[in-house]
Amino acid sequence: MTDERKFLLVDDQEEINLLMMKILSPYGSCIIATNGPEAIDFYTQYLEMGQPFSAVFLDIMMPGMDGHEVADKLRQVERESGIKHAHSFKLIMITALSDTKNVCKSFFRGGMADAYITKPIKKDKLLDELKILKVI
């Protein structure tokens, strides 16, 4: 198992993923997924290789499988792998500023999310959240 930080960036908008990668690259490696099934595949593959993600950045509103469904699946994979809550990845939901309904749903749905970031993404806000969560 490696100690290097890994970030899974999941957004259907390529420019959002590229912006987050630019901000986060100095702190660890970034893997980009553009949809839910791809995110679940990457998450599972890296976990099986003993290289779990430190944090997952997950867009709430994506076509097909939305962020809530993806988060449920990722947490299920975690549980099935025997990962205890203290060692689980930090989940940062990404949302549009006016999307308060989905933000509340993310936080109150079993305490699934650790934080949320609103679009447009600001470097200082993103890094501050990771510092608060003790990821960086």
What are 103-120's pLDDT values in tens digits?
A: 565 554 555 788 888 889
Instruction: Indicate whether 93 pLDDT > 50.
Output: yes
Q: Which two tokens stand for residue 17?
A: 């993923």
Q: Give the residue-averaged pLDDT of 67-72.
A: 90
pLDDT of residue 105: 58
Q: What is the pLDDT of residues 11-54, one digit of tens each?
A: 999 999 999 999 999 999 999 999 999 999 999 999 999 999 99
Query: In which order are the strands placed within the sheet that holds 90-96?
Result: 29-33, 6-10, 55-59, 90-96, 115-119
**What is the spatial distance between Cα 24 and Cα 22, in angstroms, rounded to a whole number?**
6
**What is the spatial distance between Cα 44 and Cα 60, in angstroms, rounded to a whole number?**
20
| More confident call, 71 vs 113 | 71
Topology annotation, domain 6-131: Rossmann fold (3.40.50)
Q: Where are the domains of the chain?
A: 6-131
| More confident call, 112 vs 83 | 83
Do 20 and 10 touch, CB atoms closer than 8 A?
Answer: no
pLDDT of residue 84: 81
Instruction: Indicate whether 81 pLDDT > 50.
Output: yes
Instruction: Indicate whether 7 pLDDT > 80.
Output: yes
Q: Which two tokens stand for residue 31?
A: 């893997």
**What is the spatial distance between Cα 107 and Cα 2, in angstroms, rounded to a whole number?**
30
pLDDT of residue 1: 46
Mean residue pLDDT across the chain = 88
